[in-house]
Amino acid sequence: MACNRILTVKLPDELETELRLYKQGSETAIQEIAVRTALATIPFAGSALLEIFNGLAQRRAQERLNDLFGQMRSRLNLLGEEKVDRDYFHSAEFQSLLFLLIDKLHTTHDAERLRMFGNALGNAANVDFKSDDKEQYVRVLRDLSLGDLKILNDEKLKGWLPHLPHVNIDYAPEILVSIYRLQAMGLVIAKLRQKGVFRTGDATQDIQNVMSNLSTQPPVMTFYLSGFGTNFLRFILPEDQVRQTPTA
C-alpha cells in the first residue's frame, strides 16, 4: 500500500533565517560555557562567582527593590494625604528619579542607604519639596557613600559650632576626603578663619599684633553645612534621623 508523504519545503529566505538564528543561539551557548569554565578555574572565588551569575545577583536586586519600595511606602504613610501630590507620581520627572535609583540597586548593599533611597522617592511627592530640584538631590545621593552621608549629618558641620572663634575642629585625613567631596557637590561650605587677636585700643599695636599672629598662627579652614546640604538631608532622611542643630 502506497503511503503518500507531504514534504514541506522551506523557502530560501525562511531557511536562511532559521539557520542564522540557530547559529546565533549556538554562539551564545558556547560563550556562556566559556565564561563559566573560566570562572570555575578562579581559585577560592570561582564557585561564588558562578553562584552570582546563576541568579544570586538577580535575587539580591529583587530583595533590594522590595526594601526600597517598603521604605517608600512607610514614608508616604507618615506624610499623609495632605502632604502628598498624587499627580507627581504620573510625571516624567518621577519616572526619571525612580530609574536613577533602581539603576544603583546592583551596587548598593547598605540597608541604611536603601532606606534613604526609599525616603527620597517618598519625599519626591512631598509638597514641601515641590519647588526643589529633586533630580539634583537624587543624583547627589547616588554618588555619595554611606560614610559621606554620615559625615554630612554630623553635628560638627551644623549651627554655630563651626563658627565659634574658640572652637577648632581637626578632621582626620580620611574624613577630609569626604568633606572635600561634599564641598565639591555644594553640600558643605569651606572658609578660612583667622584666630582671634586681643585688641589693645592702640591702632598701631593692634596692627602689629595682627601681623605677628598671621606669622605664628596661620588661618584655619572651617567647614559648615550649606543651605543646599540642609535641604538635601531633609529630603533623604526621616525627621528623627536629621540630627538637631547645635546652638553653642
DSSP the chain: --------PPPHHHHHHHHHHHHHHHHHHHHHHHHHHHHHTSTTTHHHHHHIIIIIHHHHHHHHHHHHHHHHHHHHHHH-GGGB-GGGGGSHHHHHHHHHHHTTGGG---HHHHHHHHHHHHHTTBGGGTTS-HHHHHHHHHH--HHHHHHHT-GGGSTTGGG-TT--PPPPHHHHHHHHHHHHTTSEEEEEEPPP----S-HHHHHHHHHHHHHHS--EEEEEE-HHHHHHHHHHS-GGGSPPPP--
Residues 117 and 131 both lie in one domain: yes
Q: Is residue 85 part of a domain?
A: yes
Q: Is residue 27 part of a domain?
A: no
Residues 183 and 118 both lie in one domain: no
Q: Is residue 49 part of a domain?
A: no
Write the pLDDT tens digit of every residue in 191-233.
887 665 556 666 676 666 666 665 666 677 889 999 999 999 9
> Per the structure, how many domains does the chain have?
2
User: What's the whole-number mean pLDDT along residues 171-186?
Assistant: 94
Q: Which domain holds residue 96?
A: 55-143
Residues 187 and 122 both lie in one domain: no
Residues 169 and 225 both lie in one domain: yes
Is the overall model pTM greater than 0.85, yes or no?
no
Share of the chain above pLDDT 90, in %: 47
pLDDT of residue 59: 83
Residues 59 and 123 both lie in one domain: yes
| pLDDT for residue 29 is more than 90 | no
pLDDT band (50, 70, 90) for residue 117: very high
Residues 219 and 156 both lie in one domain: yes
